[in-house]
Structure formats: structure tokens, C-alpha cells
């Protein structure tokens, strides 16, 4: 349940960054001076070429990231049923820092002095459409899987009756032990596609998510195998048919 704090921070912080970028793009306002200083330190303000698609891609990804945080916050508050487990202080601090850094990473993909005067429709590319469609598909499956986990601890009327662990079935659980972690990876891959596929910085973020979610999935998979003798043998830990 402490993950709720991560999404509160993400909704507030990345929402603020989204508003800043939106106002800069469509209202002609300048980004806050400290953001421009950060761009200067990273060498992103040295580009004078107008890069409309790059600006729109960053704006779209920041919007997707904010929507993702809003959904996850809502799920933490009203869908998930948490046990009495605790989180290590190091993991807690890392989580808070991560959601601050990830939105800033998106913003830093755009030169501050390049403004775009083209119409929005001209900026929409094939990778934006594919990325958003993949984002919606992965988000829907993640929500379904989280609802399945929550329903394991509820009766038919929706009342919480247990905080113990049970074996989940349905949706992507038929293939992997932790499909919600796999969906998280796909969501970040969809953002990489939305940024134009070639963005090396965001692929580094994807790799970070990959290793983090894979480790968590393996630990959960081992827990299921250890505590449930009849656990399905055909399920992988993280990626269907692969890992």
C-alpha cells in the first residue's frame, strides 16, 4: 500500500511538468528557468532546428505517463487489496526518486529553444498511433490482472474476506505468474515507440523497468511454486513462453 505514495508524487509532479510543456508548446510561454538550466547542463538547448515531432512526442509520452500514474493511483485506492507487508526504506526512497526522474527524463528529450508552429494533425506519425494503441492494450490487461488479484481476497459481494495469497487464474495469468509486471514493461515499451523508437535515453528507462520487474516476477513465481504444490507447471515467471 506504500506504493500509493509513489503514484501521488507522480500524478502531482508529472502533471506539473505536463502543464509546463503544454503551455510552452501551445501558449508560447517559456519553461521555468530551472528547467532551462537543466536543459543547458544536458546540452539540450544547443539545438536551434525546429523539431515539431520531437516536441509532440515528448508531450504525448508525458501525458501517457501521467495517465498511467492516475490509473495506478486509483487502483491502489479503490481496486487492490493489500496485505500487511512492509517496504524497505531503500526501495521506498528509490521509488519516490524514480517517478520524479522519469518525467524529467521525458522533458529533457526536447530542446527548450525549438518551438513548433505546425498544426497538431501534421505532427501525428505512425509511431504515435502504434505506441498509443499498445499503451491502451497493455493498460487494459494490467487493470484486469490487478482486479483478478484483488478479487481473490473478496467474496461475491465485493467484501474483503481474506488477506492470504491464492493462485490467480484468467487473462494473462494463464501464461505467466506476474502478467501485471509484464504489462508494465509493455507500457514503457509503448512509450519508447511513441517517442519515435530511436530514443536511446528512453530505451535505458525501459531496460531499468525490465530488470526491476523481472526480478520481482521471479521472486513471486518462486513464492507461488514453493507455497502451492498444484501450481500450474506451464506458467512462466514474466514473459509468456520465454522467461
| Domains of the chain by residue range | 1-123, 124-242
Within its chain, how far is the Cα of 46 from the centroid? 30
Note the pLDDT of residue 31. Answer: 76
Per-residue model confidence as pLDDT tens digits over 136-164: 999 999 999 999 999 999 998 889 999 99
Q: How many residues does the chain have?
A: 243
Note the pLDDT of residue 222. Answer: 97
Q: Is the pLDDT of residue 107 over 90?
A: no
* pLDDT range class, residue 22, cuts 50, 70, 90: confident
Per-residue model confidence as pLDDT tens digits over 42-77: 655 545 454 557 788 999 999 999 999 999 999 999
Note the pLDDT of residue 113. Answer: 55
Of the ranges 47-51, 110-114, 194-198, which one carries the lowest mean pLDDT score? 47-51
Of the ranges 37-41, 91-95, 115-119, which one carries the lowest mean pLDDT score? 115-119
Q: Indicate the burial class of 4 (C-beta count within 10 angstroms; 0-12, 13-18, 19 or more).
A: middle
The answer to whether 153 touches 81, Cβ cutoff 8 Å, is yes
* pLDDT range class, residue 130, cuts 50, 70, 90: very high
Q: Is the dihedral of CA 111, 131, 60, 12 positive or negative?
A: negative
Amino acid at each position: 500500500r506504500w506504493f500509493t505514495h509513489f503514484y501521488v508524487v507522480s500524478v502531482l509532479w508529472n502533471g506539473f511538468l505536463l502543464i509546463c510543456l503544454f503551455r510552452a508548446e501551445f501558449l508560447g510561454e517559456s519553461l521555468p528557468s530551472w528547467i532551462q538550466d537543466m536543459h543547458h547542463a544536458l546540452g539540450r538547448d544547443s539545438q536551434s532546428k525546429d523539431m515539431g515531432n520531437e516536441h509532440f512526442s515528448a508531450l504525448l509520452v508525458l501525458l501517457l505517463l501521467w495517465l498511467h500514474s492516475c490509473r495506478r493511483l486509483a487502483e491502489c485506492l479503490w481496486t487492490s487489496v493489500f496485505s500487511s507487508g512492509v517496504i524497505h526504506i531503500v526501495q521506498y526512497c528509490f521509488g519516490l526518486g524514480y517517478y520524479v526522474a522519469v518525467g524529467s527524463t521525458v522533458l529533457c528529450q526536447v530542446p527548450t529553444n525549438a518551438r513548433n508552429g505546425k498544426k497538431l494533425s501534421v505532427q501525428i506519425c505512425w509511431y504515435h498511433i502504434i505506441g498509443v494503441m499498445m499503451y491502451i492494450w497493455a493498460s487494459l490487461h494490467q487493470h484486469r490482472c490487478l482486479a483478478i488479484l484483488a478479487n481473490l481476497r473478496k467474496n461475491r459481494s465485493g467484501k474483503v474476506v481474506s488477506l492470504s495469497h491464492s493462485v490467480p487464474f484468467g487473462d494473462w495469468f494463464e501464461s505467466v505468474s506476474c502478467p501485471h509486471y509484464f504489462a508494465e514493461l509493455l507500457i514503457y515499451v509503448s512509450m519508447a515507440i511513441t517517442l519515435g523508437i530511436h530514443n536511446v535515453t528512453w530505451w535505458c528507462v525501459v531496460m531499468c523497468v525490465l530488470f526491476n520487474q523481472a526480478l520481482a516476477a521471479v521472486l513471486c513465481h518462486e513464492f507461488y511454486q514453493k507455497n502451492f504444490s498444484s501450481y500450474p507447471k506451464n506458467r512462466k515467471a514474466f514473459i509468456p513462453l520465454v522467461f
